[in-house]
Amino acid sequence: MTETLSRRSFLGAAAAAPLVGHTVDRTGFPAPAVIIPGAARFAAVASSNGLRGVAKAMELMTRGVDTLDAAVEGVKIQELDPEDTSVGYGGLPNEEGVVQLDASCMHGPSKRAGAVACLEGIKTPSEVARLVLKYTNHILLVGAGAKRFALSFGFREEDLLTSKSREIWLRWRANRGKEDDWVDVGEQEPIGPRPTGTINLNTINDRGDLSSVTTTSGLAFKIPGRSGDSPIVGAGQYTDNAVGSAGSTGLGEANIMACGGFLTVEYMRQGMSPTDAGLAALKRVVSLTPPRLLDPSGRPRYQLNFYAVNKRGDVGGASLFPSDYAAHDGRDATVRDTAYLFPK
């Protein structure tokens, strides 16, 4: 290829994607195809259980609070809510009745990440993940070590099982096998699919600084020690301050295979809108799904959602099956329909 031709195709690509350009930070390495800074506006996007969270995050960011601190304060509303059985305090336990929590976060401007997995006895794993990010050279602490780390920062150890989550666990335990030694209860009410509730929240301020956080009690009644996608940086959430943030809720095992948070951000880097980037990542997830998790027509037997914001403050939500998400565009917080791959 001649120099003229390659220059022409470069200019053509730039014309086709006017929102993207190149920046070089002090590492000297160019960040390819980033959305041109300068046009950013405040925004927050989350799973639909994050409606209060996006409102809180927006209120804090417009008062000058950092995007990661704002996102963590947003998700803490769910973590501390005993009525929310998918996150933090009151989250559904593992198969032994022990609540094990996962969380991770990324801070765009400082290019740092932190995470905890299988954390027991601490109501707000998002705060512990942020401490890993801020005060250590590590990214992921797990289990007993994560708890000791939290206690060393003054967190109080508490019983995270509420009477509501305990009742749900006892019913699941009684009904899980027809041939076991537990007497079935409440058989008239179907148990339904095991919940994988989670909250992901992504933020951007008017300087274009981005952050993301995801927190969960994980798959209900999981094998003790199981960790899903939420504490996996690049799967449960991801931020590149030059491009955008994205995160997920739904079946973590499916998402981990595709590194969905990272992939969604990479698709935004290529110029896709947040919604289109999420849909493209979902297509990749489906293509990597093992046959036992697909129905005879090739549709997934699970739900997965991505939420994303780009460097301009555009937000979007995408899911395998119809769902919704929470967003704040600087004016108000609303629940919106996701774009989806498969009708119900």
Q: Known catalytic residues?
A: 198
Q: Map tokens 């206690």 to a residue.
A: 151
Return d(Cα 144, Cα 204) in angstroms, integer: 33
Quick one: 67 or 227, whose CB is closer to ligand GLY?
A: 227
- Contact between 337 and 307 (Cβ < 8 Å): no
User: Distances from the Cα of 183 to the Cαs of 15, 171, 172, in angstroms?
Assistant: 68, 10, 11
Part of the chain binding ligand GLY (CB under 6 A), chosen from 9-17, 187-195, 212-220, 265-273: 212-220
Under rule CB under 6 A, residue 303 binds ligand GLY: no
* Distance, CA of 249 to CA of 255 (rounded, Å): 9
Nearest to 33 by CA among 14, 6, 7: 14
Nearer to ligand GLY among residue 165 and residue 241 (C-beta): 165
Q: Which of residues 218-257 bind ligand GLY (CB under 6 A)?
A: 218-219, 228-230, 249-252
Terminal alpha carbon distance of the chain: 49
CA 293 to chain centroid, in Å, comes to: 21
In this structure, is the dihedral angle defined by the CA atoms of residues 279, 117, 205 and 29, taken in order, positive or negative? negative
Q: Which is nearer to ligand GLY, 247 or 274 (CB)?
A: 247
Residue nearest to ligand GLY (CB): 228
CB of 154 to ligand GLY, least distance (A): 27
Position 313 contacts ligand GLY (CB under 6 A): no
Q: Is 198 in the site for ligand GLY (CB under 6 A)?
A: yes
Closer Cβ to ligand GLY, 60 or 232, answer by number: 232
Residues that contact ligand GLY, how many (by CB under 6 A): 12
Contacting residues toward ligand GLY, per CB under 6 A: 196, 198, 216, 218-219, 228-230, 249-252
